[in-house]
Structure 1
């Protein structure tokens, strides 16, 4: 070299971009490998070759790493615990939602049934108050002696009109005369000893029964036939006959 230089200095033809690339490599290795030992090597005519040797692990670094691992394990355990708690709360909320949805659906069905009940049977109380009027018309017709009586015809017309009006609202009347006694549809007011009908047959009717949309509103008030009492044997029978059969 023509010029004089300071002690320990050297000069080489190294491209600038190669130097910058080498510096970036050194910085990258320093970030990735902690405590790495970087040595500089020369000899290539066109650039700089770097040799990176991992430094020996130091006890301080091992202790810090262990502490870091413990900290991460504690954080992971805490995260798992919180996740389990959150999952439990979500399951409880989901169960509450399902129960609320089921209760809401049951309420909706119950409300629909109640609405239908009101529409079909809301006039039941009014009907029970009107049934005595129908009974009065029936008794008036039963008391009429002549079928050609104008008053009887007028009562029949009123009763027919009344029953047609009730029928438009689902009301139907039924008679039990001559039918076997049915405790689900008939109410027995008395027993009638008779030989003209089989025991258990309705032979008297004090009031007809009525239904509202197929639901029984009032049973028929009836008298039910029973068998005649057996006649006493021997002389007691003759005495009873002479006394006119009075007990």
Structure 2
């Protein structure tokens, strides 16, 4: 994988970041944007393969504690500290409570929820080191964790029972982590994307009987009339992780095209 060569300029200049699930989709967009803004970025992903220039990668399966610990140890050896952790790795699930068996419930919750806990626990010593260094330098912001949640945590969506349950847990976990670590100088927030134009959504559309009609339906349920882009989510993550959000912790930032909060009247002919 490509070696990291970050600029010292930008709001994340001199800072290091790790992004789980950063090899594609929202995670890759986040990793690229953090690097563009000056961070040294490590992509932690179960998938191997090449990464774009400017990103460094380590294999990491968030469902395997030994894999997580090995990845964070290697990251610590390279960076010495960690300023930003983006817990983005996750999997989707479709169906009502009748449609997913116990094994699927265990798998999705283990990756989407416990995976965040595993990675965060392994990263905390490095985050504390960064927060302490920032405190000594009177730098704003401190260390930051940003979790990828979903509008599914705050709005009832059909055919998403298991996925929604996992993301509701991510929202609650974010708030609890924020309370636990605020006095250590570590801020914890989450971003709540709406339906984003990612490879996972692409696969769902490809499997639909009428992909064009399914895409139109997904676009129509967001007041903006379009899917959210991965780059828009990445910009929100960078805000929450950056020094401009130094007084923001324990909150969720919706990037959902108004899906959660707006109730528009039907358009008249």
Greater length-normalized contact order (CA 8 Å, ≥ 6 residues apart): 2
Task: Indicate the TM-score class for this superposition, using the shorter chain for normalisation.
Answer: under 0.3
TM-score (norm: length of structure 2)? 0.21
Greater helix proportion: 1
